[in-house]
């Protein structure tokens, strides 16, 4: 993999690398908090704009749509920008979008602002992954990506519950104002610590599009879009599962959310270390692990202790994230930015697909534990796609050796 397209050539000390990754992780923390905290104040948003709770849920869909649309488009249009300037611009737009969301006068304007705020999400994580990986040796790329992604996973553990608490205590608009301030802090940190890079020679939209001509890029994106779906199928309905199936007290819901966030952080750390040992081994192995956890969830959801354990391991199913992100960098040739950004479009497709299929089985009367079977089915699809990808790569390697 070209480790540093457009990156400054001099080596960086471990302390300098840590500062860069920290700055980028703060941005990930802000993005993660903004994406998930809205769910905790959704009833307040509905009340404020005099709409129903399902209608208020459109703002979540609007943000996700912005992520899916924005990631590949921005990566292509910004091909001739340096990575440092692009990250500064993306986080500036994110900060402005959240601050403006805090002052939105109508539900329609608020929904539009959530869409616009979602646009830089995927491109930021994609380019931030490339920058993080470019600053370390090849055998530490996945760990660097994982360290940067800690901002997102820590947001599920700390940022989301804290912002939700203050949003309910004071006003939901405080949530978006606070997230906007985190975005501004990120802009300052990135301006100070990110290396000044130059645009790679020959960089263009056409060159980025090369990524989408490579079958392995599409296969990897499909693995992400299906393989992560199980996590969302279960997590989207974990609260009613705990209340109506495991008969737990409502007071346990924040605890369960924290357990899930803890699992995501553990999965991210362990998964990034495993990926530096074997990227394909980590992806394939974790898909099998995901399927086993989804099955266990369905079979034991009525037991509160097992439910909590399965929620933790469901969070751990985020583990293949750094491996998939690094894999996309490897197979994208010269279109690394586009491929890396598109990972987060695939992640949000998994979010929508998992939540929709999970809701479908519940609507059909199969019960909330059946969301685990949905996750197992999506994991099986992801594993089948992985097998095709692995076979194609093995065949190509054999042909190259013979040639």
Instruction: pLDDT band for 203, please (50, 70, 90 cuts).
Output: low
Closest CA to 324 of 402, 233, 225: 225
Separation CA 40–CA 60 (nearest Å): 12
Q: What is the pLDDT of residue 183?
A: 96
Judged against a pLDDT cut of 90, whether residue 292 lies above it is answered with: yes
pLDDT for 207-240, tens place per residue? 777 777 888 989 999 999 998 888 888 887 887 8
Residues 185 and 243 in one domain: no
Q: What is the pLDDT of residue 28?
A: 93
Instruction: Please check whether residue 1 lies inside any domain of the structure.
Output: no
370: domain CATH number is 1.20.1250.20
Judged against a pLDDT cut of 50, whether residue 69 lies above it is answered with: yes
Instruction: Calculate the average pLDDT of the chain.
Output: 86
pLDDT for 79-98, tens place per residue? 778 889 999 999 999 999 99
| End-of-domain residue from the set 201, 224, 253 | 201
Instruction: pLDDT band for 5, please (50, 70, 90 cuts).
Output: very low
Q: Decide: 129 and 352 in contact? Cβ < 8 Å.
A: no
Q: Which two tokens stand for residue 14?
A: 């471990």
Q: What predicted TM-score, i.e. pTM, was given to this entire model?
A: 0.79
Q: Whole domain around residue 164: which residue ranges?
A: 8-201
Q: What is the pLDDT of residue 403?
A: 59
Judged against a pLDDT cut of 80, whether residue 325 lies above it is answered with: yes
Q: What is the pLDDT of residue 156?
A: 79
Q: What is the pLDDT of residue 2?
A: 39
Residues 188 and 257 in one domain: no
Q: What is the pLDDT of residue 105?
A: 94
Q: What is the pLDDT of residue 3?
A: 41
* φ/ψ of residue 343, rounded to 5: -55, -40
Torsion 363-367-371-373 (CA) sign: negative
Torsion 272-274-276-281 (CA) sign: negative
| End-of-domain residue from the set 161, 186, 201 | 201
Q: What is the pLDDT of residue 318?
A: 87
Q: State whether residue 79 is helix, strand or coil.
A: coil
Average pLDDT of the segment spanning 380-401: 88
Instruction: pLDDT band for 102, please (50, 70, 90 cuts).
Output: very high
Instruction: Please check whether residue 221 lies inside any domain of the structure.
Output: yes
| End-of-domain residue from the set 145, 166, 201 | 201
Judged against a pLDDT cut of 90, whether residue 395 lies above it is answered with: no
Separation CA 323–CA 386 (nearest Å): 13
Residues 189 and 289 in one domain: no
Residues 287 and 348 in one domain: yes
Residues 233 and 285 in one domain: yes
Separation CA 144–CA 273 (nearest Å): 10
Across 10-14, 46-50, 79-83, 90-94, least confident range: 10-14
Measured CA distances, 29 to 59, 148, 328 (Å): 20, 9, 23
């Amino acid at each position: 993999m070209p480790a540093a397209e457009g990156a400054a050539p001099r080596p960086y000390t471990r302390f300098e690398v840590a500062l860069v990754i920290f700055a980028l992780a703060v941005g990930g923390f802000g993005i993660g908090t903004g994406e998930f905290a809205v769910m905790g104040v959704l009833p307040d948003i509905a009340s404020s704009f005099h709409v129903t709770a399902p209608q208020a849920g459109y703002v979540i869909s609007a943000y996700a749509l912005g992520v899916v649309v924005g990631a590949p488009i921005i990566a292509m249009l910004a091909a001739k920008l340096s990575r440092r300037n692009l990250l500064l611009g993306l986080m500036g737009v994110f900060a402005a979008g959240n601050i403006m969301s805090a002052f939105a006068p109508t539900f329609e304007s608020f929904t539009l602002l959530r869409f616009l705020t979602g646009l830089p999400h995927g491109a930021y994580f994609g380019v931030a992954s490339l920058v993080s990986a470019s600053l370390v040796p090849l055998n530490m790329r996945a760990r660097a990506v994982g360290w940067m992604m800690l901002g997102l996973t820590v947001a599920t553990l700390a940022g989301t519950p804290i912002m939700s608490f203050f949003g309910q205590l004071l006003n939901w608009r405080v949530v978006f104002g606070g997230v906007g301030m985190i975005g501004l802090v990120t802009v300052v940190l990135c301006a100070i610590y990110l290396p000044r890079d130059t645009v790679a020679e020959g960089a263009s939209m056409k060159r980025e599009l090369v990524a989408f001509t490579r079958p392995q890029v599409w296969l990897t994106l499909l693995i992400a879009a299906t393989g992560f779906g199980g996590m969302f199928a279960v997590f989207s309905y974990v609260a009613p599962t705990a209340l109506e199936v495991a008969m737990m007290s409502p007071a346990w819901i924040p605890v369960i959310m924290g357990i899930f966030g803890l699992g995501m952080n553990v999965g991210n750390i362990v998964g990034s270390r495993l990926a530096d040992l074997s990227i394909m081994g980590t992806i394939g192995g974790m898909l099998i692990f995901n399927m086993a956890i989804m099955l266990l969830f369905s079979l034991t959801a009525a037991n509160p202790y097992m439910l909590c354990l399965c929620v933790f391991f469901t969070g751990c199913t985020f583990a293949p994230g750094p491996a998939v992100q690094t894999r996309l960098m490897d197979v994208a040739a010269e279109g690394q930015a586009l491929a890396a950004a598109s990972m987060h479009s695939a992640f949000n497709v998994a979010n929508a697909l998992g939540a929709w299929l999970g809701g479908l089985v519940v609507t059909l009367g199969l019960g909330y534990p059946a969301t685990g079977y949905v996750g197992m089915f999506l994991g099986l699809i992801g594993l089948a796609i992985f097998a095709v990808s692995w076979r194609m790569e093995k065949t190509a390697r054999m042909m190259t050796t013979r040639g």
